Amino acid sequence: MSIESQNPATGEVVDTFDETSAEDREEHLERATETFEEWRETPVEHRQQLLSTAADVLRDGAEEYAQLMTEEMGKPIGQARDEVEKCAWVCEYYAEHAAEFLADDFVAGEPDARTVVAYQPLGPILAIMPWNFPFWQVFRFAAPNLVAGNVGLLKHASNVPGCAKAIEDIFREAGFPEGAFTSLLIGSDEVEDVIGDDRIQGVTLTGSDGAGRAVAETAGSELKKSVLELGGSDPFVVLEDAPMEKTVETAVQARLINNGQSCIAAKRFIVVDDVYDEFLERFVEEMDAQTVGDPSDEETDIGPQAREDLMEVLHGQVEETLEKGGECRLGGEPMDRDGAFYPPTVLTDVPDEAPADDEELFGPVASVFRVPDEEAAIEKANATRFGLGASVWTDDLERGERVARRFESGAAFVNELVKSDPRLPFGGVKDSGYGRELARDGIREFVNAKTIWVQHDAGEETGMVE
């Protein structure tokens, strides 16, 4: 069978790919297992060098890869270029720091013993990745795991098969051995069998909490390590002393980046009463000023939603919110044009338990809530089953940090939008998942932290490092 990728802005077919057959899947799994036995013994310095080369390959083909993302899922072309550069950055980051992160930890113990914690790779790791950041999500997994000595198998979203194959080609061109990174063009109904395969040693997923529960259940039944980065409904808290011009400017960016299709996008704007009217007026005005159009046009701020059915789900959430008593201040209807275009939308007076209050709205729809004070803002920010990111806006940085520490989230930002950074651990709490990606924490998720105890005769020099 074949898989078609479609341009969501035009409906035209971008390319056609053959699905991975059962026979090919078996061959890929076997090759990955064989490659791991050699790859794990490859000096980390050589793995780092190959990762550095992958960064060069990314930059050399940046325009090609950016255009591919824009064609397959509708990302504005400028943001697509930024995504390629961020992938190169994460490769360079681990190319520089992997040896340090994987070095043995010498632990003080008995005086006549040498005790060490060694970090050793586990084997083939399955990555189940989404379409919204079709390069970055994959490289966020691949860079630390490949340099740690694991091998990767990618089950990418079905609407970005071209991106999946391009990423596989990037690692091959960089010099990684055959089987170190493989794309499996398979359906979601085949994922359970792959997780259950004895050769797979771990699984990571970025996606919805529903998908996360299914993957965690399967991985748990097989006693395999899993890392889940799931959905979010990030609060964006505006206190009375917020620097309003910067706050509004960033609020628009935080809600509309990637056409509003980001797990860590700000979705619930929680504004104290003293500045609510000012914020809402300026926010609606700036949202309305954004240019919706062809994502390949340099002047476009917002492209289409990635698929027609996803836009329909988003619109259904908006309609249900309005039926329950919410008010629409801007947008609220699919645009009358070809393609899956939904306009910037602002909802207010959102009732408790309406979709715009307790579900993730994955598109350019902002919910704005009025609260009386800081304490109520924190309470509302935490009144969600999600816990991925959060931000607070204030002129008092000590106050901001105090509020940030009270957010129930994996990341909290003061006077900045929520974002991922290779130097910092990334992940969520509650229904936003568990485990961490990036930084030292990320490279150590899929390794065996092995305790090694070497007993010496009494009085013998242990060689402990102080």
- Contact call for residues 273 and 372 (beta carbons, < 8 A): yes
In a domain? residue 462: no
For position 246, which CATH number holds? Answer: 3.40.309.10
Inside any domain, residue 369: yes
Give yes or no: residues 276 and 252 share one domain: yes
| Pair (258, 219) in one structural domain | no
Amino acid at 426: F
Examine the residue annotation and report whether 229 is marked as an active-site residue of this protein: yes
pLDDT over 50 at 231, yes or no: yes
Give yes or no for a contact between 307 and 340, defined as CB atoms under 8 angstroms apart. yes
Last-in-domain residue among 414, 437, 460: 414
Mean pLDDT along residues 140-151: 98
Same domain, 261 and 204: no
Which residue in 71, 168, 229, 359 is the catalytic one?
229
**DSSP type of residue 216:** H
Which residue among the candidates 87, 91, 163, 263 is catalytic per the annotation?
263
Q: Give the chain's domain count.
A: 2
Domain enclosing residue 444, as ranges = 2-230+428-452
| pLDDT for the residue numbered 292 | 98
pLDDT at 464: 47
Residues 312 and 355 in one domain: yes
The percentage of the chain sitting over the pLDDT mark of 70, rounded to a whole number, equals 98
226 and 246 part of one domain: no
Report the chain's C-alpha Rg in angstroms: 23
E strand or H helix that includes residue 227:
strand 225-229
Residues 30 and 125 reside in one and the same domain:
yes
Query: Mean pLDDT throughout 66-87?
Result: 98
Amino acid residing at 185: L
On whether residue 240 sits in a domain, the answer given is yes
Q: How far apart are the first and last CA of the chain?
A: 60
Same-domain check for residues 218 and 254: no
pLDDT at 460: 55
Whether residue 465 is contained in a domain is answered as: no
Q: Is residue 47 part of a domain?
A: yes
Assess contact for 294 and 337: CB atoms under 8 A.
no
The CATH number of the domain where 104 resides is what?
3.40.605.10
Considering the entire predicted model, what is its pTM?
A: 0.96
> Has residue 463 been placed in a domain?
no
Residue 292 lies in a domain: yes
Residue 76 and residue 107 in one domain: yes
**Residue 13: is its pLDDT beyond 50?**
yes
pLDDT score at 465 = 45
User: Which neighbouring-strand residues pair with 229?
Assistant: 206, 433
Query: Is residue 12 domain-shared with residue 26, that is, in the same domain?
Result: yes
What lies within 8 Å, CB to CB, of 87 at 6+ separation is 55, 58, 135, 136, 139
pLDDT at 424: 98
pLDDT tops 50 at residue 466: no
Q: Is 163 left (phi over 0), alpha (psi -120 to 50) or beta?
A: alpha
Are residue 339 and residue 294 in the same domain, yes or no?
yes
Q: Which residues lie below 8 Å from residue 354, measured CB to CB, with a gap of 6+?
A: 320, 321, 324, 325, 326
- Domain match, 112 and 20 both: yes
Residue 1 confidence (pLDDT): 76
Beta-strand ranges (E) seen in 113-157 are 113-121, 124-128, 151-155
Q: Are residues 281 and 316 in the same domain?
A: yes
Is residue 457, in this structure, part of any structural domain at all?
A: no
* Residues near 119 by beta carbon (within 8 Å), at least 6 away in sequence: 101, 102, 103, 104, 148, 444, 447, 448, 449, 450
**Chain centre to alpha carbon of residue 352:** 28
pLDDT tier for residue 457 given thresholds of 50, 70 and 90: confident
